[in-house]
Amino acid sequence: MKSKLGSIMVMGVLFLAVFGTPGASGQKITEKDLKIAIDELKNEVVVLSRQVQTMQDNMNRHSGQLDALITQIIDNVSAIRQAQSRVSEASNSAISGVNGVTAQLSSTNRQIDRLSEQLAELKKMVENLPKLPAFSEVNPGNPEQLFAAAYADYSRGNYDLAISEFTQYYETYPSSEMADNARYWKGECLLAKRLYHQAIAEFDIVIRDFSKGDKVPAARFKKGMALLEIGDQEAARAEFLLIIKHHATSTEAGLARQQLNAQ
């Protein structure tokens, strides 16, 4: 490119020298030489023009490619930023959800800890209870011995024998102040044997015939639990509500509330 430009400059100087000083002495340049110089100058100008055009075309083409590349980069950056925004929003939502679940788990763990403590206390109380005597022979004429034998068999899981003994007790001593207890514990034996309908009938007797007795709240609660076992949730709910209404300060009232909250 520099050699071409230099040639043109030489031709230009020569042309100026000839025409700039037409009368100068010592000039040997003929008209033929001048014509040749002019033709060569024209040719060089044409070549130079083509080279300039080629350079311009290359610059335009590279410029277009560069613009396209810049546009593509900008689009990619925009897409990355949008993806980051979506990830950030999803992350915040997930963190919020995890925090909520963590709070619920913490609450549940605290409840489990309290229940574990209560179970440990109950276990300790049971261990400290005096051992029930084992009766080789039961004297039906002794109500205390008969009831103690029945309860001992219930505690050992001898439910059939306990049912027989509790039945014998309330049939022999129907006016005894422990008669309602005997019927209630017979219901517990039936409940343990999964004889739910029979257990419900026994608890109903306690509720109806011993309405002033202290076993009514427990009988209603165990009746409600038996009703849940047979799938009668509405009837069970009614029993739990009656406990809360009529025996609000009893232990069974607190248990009834737990059952209602669990439904």
Q: What is the DSSP string of 65-110?
A: HHHHHHHHHHHHHHHHHHHHHHHHHHHHHHHHHHHHHHHHHHHHHH
Residue 29 is assigned to a structural domain of this protein: yes
Domain boundaries, position 22: 2-82
Choosing from 82, 114, 131, the residue where a domain stops is 82
Number of helices (H), then strands (E), in the chain:
9, 0
One domain for residues 74 and 149: no
**What are 31-76's pLDDT values in tens digits?**
666 666 676 666 666 666 566 566 666 555 555 555 555 556 666 5
**What are 219-254's pLDDT values in tens digits?**
999 999 999 999 999 999 999 999 999 999 999 999
One domain for residues 77 and 151: no
> At CA 143, angle to CA 137 and CA 144, rounded to 5?
80
How far is the C-alpha of 189 from the C-alpha of 161, rounded, in Å?
A: 10
One domain for residues 253 and 150: yes
Choosing from 82, 106, 121, the residue where a domain stops is 82
Q: Tokens 């700039």, residue?
A: 20
How far is the C-alpha of 19 from the C-alpha of 214, rounded, in Å?
A: 141
Residue 2 in this model has a pLDDT that exceeds 50: no
> At CA 156, angle to CA 155 and CA 158, rounded to 5?
105
Cα separations (Å) of 239 from 184, 202, 220, 231, 261?
A: 16, 15, 6, 14, 14
Provide the domain count of the chain: 2
Tokens representing 147? 């009831």
pLDDT grade for 130, boundaries at 50, 70 and 90:
very low
Residue 212 is assigned to a structural domain of this protein: yes
Residue 204 is assigned to a structural domain of this protein: yes
Cα separations (Å) of 88 from 53, 84, 98, 172?
A: 52, 6, 15, 78
**What are 151-208's pLDDT values in tens digits?**
999 999 999 999 999 999 999 999 999 999 999 999 999 999 999 999 999 999 999 9
CA R_g for the chain: 55
Domain at 211, CATH number: 1.25.40.10
How far is the C-alpha of 149 from the C-alpha of 92, rounded, in Å?
A: 65
How far is the C-alpha of 146 from the C-alpha of 170, rounded, in Å?
A: 10
In terms of Cβ atoms closer than 10 Å to its own Cβ (0-12, 13-18, 19+), residue 218 is buried
Residue 218 in this model has a pLDDT that exceeds 60: yes
Residue 97 is assigned to a structural domain of this protein: no
